[in-house]
Amino acid sequence: MDPEILYTRKERAGVAWAEVTLNRPEKGNALTLSMLDQLETITAVIRSDLGVRAVVLRGSGRYFCTGGDITAWGSLSPQEMGRDWILRGIEVLSQIAALPQPVIAAITGHALGGGLELALAADLRIGIGEARFGMPEVALGMIAGWGGVRRLAETVGVARARQLTLLGVPITAQQALEWGLLTALADDAPALEEQLDHWLERLLANAPIAMAQTKGLLATMHQDLRHAHASAAAHATATEDCREGVRAFLEKRKPVFQNR
């Protein structure tokens, strides 16, 4: 069986960068607890490797990441949801965001739910025109619990974050660029690779300590709201609406919410 997360260390002119690829294309690269564990291990390797100057996050196949695998969290109790799923995801994504190296999300397919939260943990995001970006959790009676609501609001503004999270309707790549959710937009995958190469050339030439210090200053904007997110997600999981949303998803039908 192929590993669900691929890690590659690449070099150019004696300077290295890391590429991390979600490798579960048959499931839209949906994240499981095992994948979160693998991401944490890889992140620790990258953090300790002083030779790595930048990080690229990718998804294999048609999607960047379709979020957290509903089969991984759909049957969890509220307590398990908060403790084992939400806090775990927040911890891993926070470790990615806190890497001293700049992180680029190279998005050649849809980034939805937890997948968009993962992309928001990166410093720079480039996507292709066909990609869509959204947080559809409310349609399942759930919320985006891995810190993405706050990161989204910091990135695109509160009003636009409300639109994306309350309507639950994805936006186009062009709209994501106009909102500032994407740093750059490419016509297709080859054009994305060309832009990515330009960014890597620039980042690999920059002073790594200065970039790390700059990231540290920007990180001071974030308060520790992990437990607030976990509590909110646990509350959502405890509702009948969430149970109905999960059942409807698995049964491939439209959910009927009762506001309880």
**Residue 85 sits in a domain of what CATH number?**
3.90.226.10
257: in domain: no
> Contacts from 194-200 at CB under 8 Å and sequence distance 24+?
195/126, 196/56, 196/104, 196/106, 196/126, 199/104, 199/124, 199/126, 200/12, 200/17, 200/54, 200/56, 200/104
Annotated catalytic residue: which of 4, 40, 91, 137? 137
CA angle at 177 for the pair 221 and 214, rounded to the nearest 5°: 30
What would the pLDDT profile of 114-130 be if each residue is shown by its tens digit? 999 999 999 999 999 99
Q: Is residue 203 part of a domain?
A: no
**Does any domain span residue 93?**
yes
Give the 3-state secondary structure of residue 94: helix
Q: What pLDDT shows up at residue 142? A: 86
Q: Per the residue annotation, which of 117, 154, 193, 240 is the catalytic one?
A: 117
Confirm if 186 and 128 have CB atoms less than 8 A apart. Answer: yes
- Decide if 117 is catalytic: yes
Domain for residue 48, yes or no?
Answer: yes
28: in domain? yes
Query: Which residue in 46, 158, 28 sits closest to 92, CA to CA?
Result: 46
User: By residue range, what is the domain housing residue 71?
Assistant: 5-189
How many domains would you assign to the chain? 1
In a domain, 221, yes or no: no
> What's the token pair of residue 233?
């997600």
Q: Is the pLDDT of residue 1 over 70?
A: no
Write the CA distances from 190 to 105, 112, 194, 197, integer angstroms: 15, 22, 6, 11
In a domain, 52, yes or no: yes
What CA–CA distance (Å, rounded) separates 233 from 147? Answer: 11
Q: What pLDDT score was predicted for residue 223?
A: 58
Residue 241 lies in a domain: no
40 as an active site residue: the answer is no
* pLDDT per position as a tens digit, 216-229: 888 877 656 666 66
